[in-house]
A and B are shown apart, each in its own frame.
Chain A
Amino acid sequence: DAGVIQSPRHEVTEMGQEVTLRCKLISGHNSLFWYRQTMMRGLELLIYFNNNVPIDDSGMPEDRFSAKMPNASFSTLKIQPSEPRDSAVYFCASSFGRASGYTFGSGTRLTVV
C-alpha cells in the first residue's frame, strides 16, 4: 500500500485564487481527517469524515474553506478565495476509526502571496 497520498506537495498561488488540495486514503480506512499546521497554531483539525460523511467541520476557519469526500478513497479541500493567512502545511490522515493510529500524508505546503 502506498500510504496516504497528497497532491500537490507544494502550491504557490496569488491571493484571491482558488486552491484545491487532494488526498487519497489508504484502502480500507473509513475515517479521513484534514489538519493544518503552522508555527503559531500548531496542528489544527479542520474537518473529519467517517464513512464519507462529514462528522465535525467546526475547525474549518471560514466559508472560504470547503471539503468533500465523493467516494471512500478520495477527498478534496478547497479554499476559495485564498488569502495570505491561509499559508500553512495541510495534512490529511486516515484511520480505521476509533482507537487506531492515524496514517498521515506528506502534506501540501501552501503559500499564498
Chain B
Amino acid sequence: SQQGEEDPQALSIQEGENATMNCSYKTSINNLQWYRQNSGRGLVHLILIRSNEREKHSGRLRVTLDTSKKSSSLLITASRAADTASYFCATEGTSGSRLTFGEGTQLTVNP
C-alpha cells in the first residue's frame, strides 16, 4: 500500500498562479522527496527534504515538512503551462533506501 497520500488528486490553475500540493504519510521517515512525471515519461526528481529540515527551496519550488503532523507540501510559484504534470511525494523510511510513492496529484496549468 502507498504510504504517501497526495491532496488534491487533481488541480487545475491558470498560468501565473501558485500551485500547492500536500502529502501525508504514516511512519517515521529519513527524508521525503518530490517527483514530477510528464505524460508517458519516467519520474524526475525535484527536491529532497530531510527529516530534520522544515523548509527547502529550489527555484520556483518550495517544500515544507512537518514531521509532527507527518505532512509535507510542495508549492510551485508563478506556474507555467510546462508545469503541467503529475507530482508525487515519496518517503524514505528509517531503514533501507527504498522509496514509497503516493498516488500523485495531477496538475494542469492552463495558458
Question: Which residues of A are in contact with B by a Cβ distance under 8 Å?
Answer: 4, 31, 33, 35, 42-43, 45, 48, 50, 55-56, 91, 93, 95, 97-107
Contact = CB atoms under 8 A, between A and B. Distances in A.
B69 interface: no
Contacts of B98: 33, 45, 48, 55-56
Contacts, number: 59
Interface residues of B, number: 23
B97 interface: yes
B14 interface: no
Name, among B35, B97, B102, the residue most crowded by chain A CB atoms within 10 Å (CB to CB): B97
14 contacts: A42-B103, A42-B104, A43-B88, A45-B100, A95-B97, A98-B97, A99-B48, A99-B50, A100-B48, A102-B33, A102-B35, A103-B45, A105-B42, A107-B42
Given A42-B103, A43-B88, A45-B98, A101 B45 contact: yes
B97 A50 contact: yes
A55 B96 CA distance: 9
Contact of A106 (B41, B50, B97): B41
Nearest to A31: B97
Contact of A102 (B50, B99, B100): B99
Main secondary structure of the interface of B (DSSP, over half): strand
Contacts of B102: 42
Contact of A97 (B97, B100, B103): B97
B101 interface: yes
Contacts of A106: 41-42
A50 B95 CA distance: 13
Contacts of B35: 102, 104
Interface string B87-111: 0100010001111111110000000
A101 B103 contact: no
A29 to B, nearest CB: 11
B81 interface: no
Nearest to A101: B45
Contacts of A55: 96, 98
